[in-house]
Amino acid sequence: MSIPSTMRAIALRRFGGIDALEPQSLPVPSPGPHEVLVGIAFAGVGEWDTFEREGGYARLLGTQATFPYVLGSEGAGVVAAVGEQVERFRVGERVYAVGFLNPRGGFYAEYAAVREDLVAPIPGNLPLEQAAALGGVGLTALRGLEDVLGIRPGESVLIFGASGGVGHVAVQLAKRMGARVLAVASGRDGVRLAERLGADAAVDGRSDDVAAAARAFAPDGLDAALLTAGGEAAQQALSALREGARVAFPYGIRPEPTPTRGARIHGYYGDPDRDIIERLNRLVESGPFEVHVAEVFPLDRAADAHEALGRHYLGKLVLRVT
32-62 tens-digit pLDDT: 999 999 999 999 999 999 999 999 999 999 9
Mean pLDDT calculated for residue range 266-290: 96
Percent of the chain with pLDDT over 90: 90
pLDDT, greater one: 250 or 253? 250
CATH number of the domain to which 220 belongs: 3.40.50.720
pLDDT at 213 over 90: yes
Half-sphere exposure for 180 (CA within 13 Å, toward CB): 10
Mean pLDDT calculated for residue range 228-257: 90
Q: How many residues does the chain have?
A: 322
Does residue 185 sit in helix, strand or coil? strand
CATH number of the domain to which 297 belongs: 3.90.180.10
Nearest to 237 by CA among 159, 163, 169, 180: 159
Instruction: Please check whether residue 279 lies inside any domain of the structure.
Output: no
Residue-level pLDDT at 77: 98
Instruction: Please check whether residue 119 lies inside any domain of the structure.
Output: yes
> What is the extent of the structural domain holding 308?
6-133+291-320
Contacts of 100 (CB under 8 A, 6+ apart): 73, 136, 272
Residue-level pLDDT at 19: 97
Instruction: Please check whether residue 276 lies inside any domain of the structure.
Output: no
Percent of the chain with pLDDT over 70: 99
Instruction: Please check whether residue 251 lies inside any domain of the structure.
Output: yes
99, 90 Cβ separation under 8 angstroms: no
163 and 65 inside one domain: no
Cα torsion 49, 51, 56, 60: sign: negative
Contacts of 279 (CB under 8 A, 6+ apart): 142, 146
Number of domains in the chain: 2
Residue-level pLDDT at 307: 98
151 and 264 inside one domain: yes
pLDDT digits (tens, 9 = 90+) for 85-118: 999 999 999 999 999 999 999 999 999 999 999 9
**What whole-number distance in Å separates Cα of residue 261 and Cα of residue 306?**
39
**Position 230 confidence tier, pLDDT thresholds 50, 70, 90:** confident
146 and 214 inside one domain: yes
In this structure, of 127-136, 181-190, 209-218, 231-240, the range with the lowest mean pLDDT score is 231-240
158 and 211 inside one domain: yes
113 and 171 inside one domain: no
pLDDT digits (tens, 9 = 90+) for 130-153: 999 999 999 999 999 999 999 999
Instruction: Please check whether residue 204 lies inside any domain of the structure.
Output: yes
43 and 97 inside one domain: yes
CA 15 to chain centre: 23
Instruction: Please check whether residue 275 lies inside any domain of the structure.
Output: no
251 and 307 inside one domain: no
3-state helix, strand, coil in the chain (%, to 5): 30, 30, 40
pTM of the model as a whole? 0.96
297 and 219 inside one domain: no
168 and 206 inside one domain: yes
**What whole-number distance in Å separates Cα of residue 10 and Cα of residue 72?**
9
Q: Where are the alpha helices (DSSP H) in 198-318?
A: 210-217, 232-237, 274-285, 302-308
Residue-level pLDDT at 75: 98
Instruction: Please check whether residue 61 lies inside any domain of the structure.
Output: yes
**Position 257 confidence tier, pLDDT thresholds 50, 70, 90:** confident
Cα torsion 307, 311, 317, 320: sign: negative
**What whole-number distance in Å separates Cα of residue 157 and Cα of residue 145?**
9
195 and 261 inside one domain: yes
List the strands of the sheet with 21-27, edge to edge. Answer: 21-27, 6-12, 69-70
**Position 259 confidence tier, pLDDT thresholds 50, 70, 90:** confident
10 and 26 inside one domain: yes
**Position 258 confidence tier, pLDDT thresholds 50, 70, 90:** confident
Q: Where are the alpha helices (DSSP H) in the chain?
A: 49-53, 56-61, 128-132, 134-142, 165-176, 187-196, 210-217, 232-237, 274-285, 302-308
88 and 159 inside one domain: no
**Position 233 confidence tier, pLDDT thresholds 50, 70, 90:** confident
Residue-level pLDDT at 123: 97
Instruction: Please check whether residue 283 lies inside any domain of the structure.
Output: no
